[in-house]
Amino acid sequence: MSKAAHYLQEHLLGEVMVSSDARKYFATDASIFTLTPSLVVYPRGEQDVRKTARFTWQLAERGRIIPITARGSGTDQGGAALGSGIMLVFPAHMNRIVELDPKSGVVTVEPGLNYGRLEQTLHTHERFLPPYPESYEYSTVGGAVANNASGDKTLKYGATRGFVKSLRVVLANGEVVETFRLSKRELNKKLQLQTLEGEIYRSFNALLEDNREVIEKLDLSVTKNSAGYDLLDIKRRDGSFDLTPLIVGSQGTLGIVTEITFETEVYNPQKELFLAEFESVEKAVQAILELRATPQLPSAIEMVDGQLLALIDRLNPNQLKDIVSKPFPAVALLIEFDDEGRQRKKIVRRTEKVLSELASRVTSASDLAGQTRLWKVRDAAASVLSHSEGQLKAVPIIEDGIVPPEKLQELVSGAYQIFANERLQVALWGHAGDGNIHMQPFLDLSQVGDRQKAFRIMDTYYQLIFSLGGSTSGEHGDGRLRAPYLPYLYGPEVYELFTKVKQIFDPYGTLNPGVKVGVRMDDVRPLVRSTYGLEHLYDHMPHS
């Protein structure tokens, strides 16, 4: 056993593992990459996280870098949950709901808590956390915060960043900070501290002050964004200051989150759901734009394209039986409203009018059973992800691009063209109301040709995204996969700012290096695995 493992075993309450099985398990996430950690730690509390960080900091001061990667359930599709050093695995023990105030709906949790478990608990208090990702049943709240995750309800309610009230964060040297919105006076106190925290506030505050114009370039015209570091809402005109929006979405590269306080929303189980079928992408996009223009946004506008319907029909003919029939439409949209009674009726009438002019067929459901049936159309995308055709697997390489909703049609037709040029099957689905479309080409990563194709497709697709004023990541984050595109997305000035932010928080580069900044395409190419699978979704971790 290495000296590092020995030291940690002696000093931590949580388990430290170096077995090849444990390390192999954490060598993959839901991305196309593989990277084996040198050891695995299951922290039993914040103290374990602090001690681990302090240990790597002290080694780094002597010139030895051992990276730390925080890990939730490992469902990250960009390789952000992989690392070559210490894998700090949160779901095993740091998975509690610490406090829940049913009146205000404010809830404090540990990062390893399963998102689905939190939602279940909140529902019993008629609350919910709206930006849950589609993977919520098997992913953690810590991963959602680190990725600034979002999902079908984000159209109306926004992404994770908007729901995080405060955080407890372990810094690179093991200090703990609490982040929340500080008044100007409170900020001044922080600026006096002779600690890493004080150094961070001083340098970061100066960086923001010196680069106001550059920071404005971060404001892309997309409805949500998980690419890069969010520097837009740290310092406000009134002098107040909050590190929380920066840590959210930073993928464990600036600090390790040990506690999260979320605001939540009132949960209304009474909903109205439409399944609208369209003969063309153009008509579907027109309907989306008209629905977006109404004062009350739907709680979801989700899309599945005709190619996906045909694929599902081939793989599992019963799944869509009596819901959508052949010939399949070019696009099917699921449009949901969760407003209260009278309000909902009003919007529903307006929606019926929009759809009667544009859709070729509309089915609606007001009861839970009927809605669950219709949602099957959207849920069908999941079966594509786990499907393989021989050695071909649906791989996540261009799965999270987002464009302004008015550019959606160009995105879809551009994507179809890319797939046609590469002679690949295509299937699109996703959060169409937000302009965020998922697609995963079927490739065989054991073949050199397909690996080259993967990188060619990425280059062409992200050029398309840039040309439409979009972002490389609407919700999944940059990870390793999209990190090399950040300089092209934001330009060199913004990218340099990101590099400086990383330097301020993590001067030795121990926090999840190889993710977000300082990543070139040549760094990630050798990490592509030869077979793609989702083995990490199976839970073998110890639980307390």
Ligand X SMILES: Cc1cc2nc3c(=O)[nH]c(=O)nc-3n(C[C@H](O)[C@H](O)[C@H](O)COP(=O)(O)OP(=O)(O)OC[C@H]3O[C@@H](n4cnc5c(N)ncnc54)[C@H](O)[C@@H]3O)c2cc1C
Q: Which residues bind ligand X (CB under 6 A)?
A: 29-30, 69-77, 80-81, 90, 111, 133-135, 139-140, 142-144, 146-147, 149-151, 251-252, 256-257, 385, 475-476, 512
Q: What is the rounded distance in angstroms from the CA atom of residue 510 to the CA atom of residue 70?
A: 11
CB of 226 to ligand X, least distance (A): 7
CB of 430 to ligand X, least distance (A): 8
Helix axes 196-210, 184-192, angle to 10 degrees: 120
Q: What is the closest distance, in whole angstroms, from the C-beta atom of residue 473 to ligand X in the complex?
A: 9
Q: How far is the CB of 308 from ligand X (least distance, A)?
A: 14
What residue is closest to ligand X based on CB?
Answer: 143
| Residue 112 beta carbon to ligand X: minimum distance, rounded to whole angstroms | 7
Instruction: Give the C-alpha distances (Å, rounded to integers) separating 215 from 5, 230, 365, 491.
Output: 41, 9, 45, 11
Q: Classify 264 as helix, strand or coil.
A: coil
Q: What share of the chain is helix, strand, coil (3-state, %, to 5)?
A: 40, 20, 40
Q: Of 137 and 410, which has the nearer Cβ to ligand X?
A: 137
Closer CB to ligand X, 262 or 351, in the complex: 262
Q: Is 391 buried (19+), middle (13-18) or exposed (0-12) by CB count in 10 A?
A: middle
Residue 541 Cβ, how far from ligand X at the closest point, in Å? 11
Closest approach of ligand X to the CB of residue 512, in Å: 5
Please identify, using beta-carbon distances, which residue of 105 and 143 lies nearer to ligand X. Answer: 143
In this complex, which beta carbon is closest to ligand X, that of residue 244 or of residue 351? 244
Q: Which is nearer to ligand X, 351 or 473 (CB)?
A: 473
- Minimum distance between the CB of residue 292 and ligand X, rounded to whole angstroms? 19
Strand partners, 265: 128
Residue among 98 and 420 whose Cβ is closer to ligand X: 98
- Which CB atom, from 147 or from 307, has the smaller least distance to ligand X? 147
- Report in angstroms how near the CB of residue 216 gets to ligand X at its nearest: 25
Of residues 174 and 329, the one with the C-beta less far from ligand X = 174
Taking the least distance from each CB to ligand X, the nearer of 277 and 434 is 434
* Beta strands 86-89; 68-71: pairing state: parallel
User: Which residues share a beta bridge with 155?
Assistant: none
Which residues are CB-contacts of 395 (< 8 A; sequence separation ≥ 6)? 32, 440, 441, 442, 443, 445, 454, 532
Our measurement of the distance from residue 341's CA atom to the centroid of its chain's CA atoms, rounded to an integer in Å, reads: 32
d(CA 151, CA 529): 28
Order of strands across the sheet that contains 442-443:
388-389, 392-394, 442-443
Residue 328 CA, distance from chain mean position: 31
Separation CA 375–CA 478 (nearest Å): 29
Tell me how far apart the alpha carbons of residues 472 and 392 are, in angstroms, rounded to a whole number: 24
For residues 257 and 143, give the distance between their C-alpha atoms in angstroms, rounded to a whole number: 10
Angle among Cα 137, 138, 139 to the nearest 5 degrees reads 105
CB of 90 to ligand X, least distance (A): 5
The residue to which tokens 């989150």 are assigned = 257
Q: Which is nearer to ligand X, 16 or 146 (CB)?
A: 146
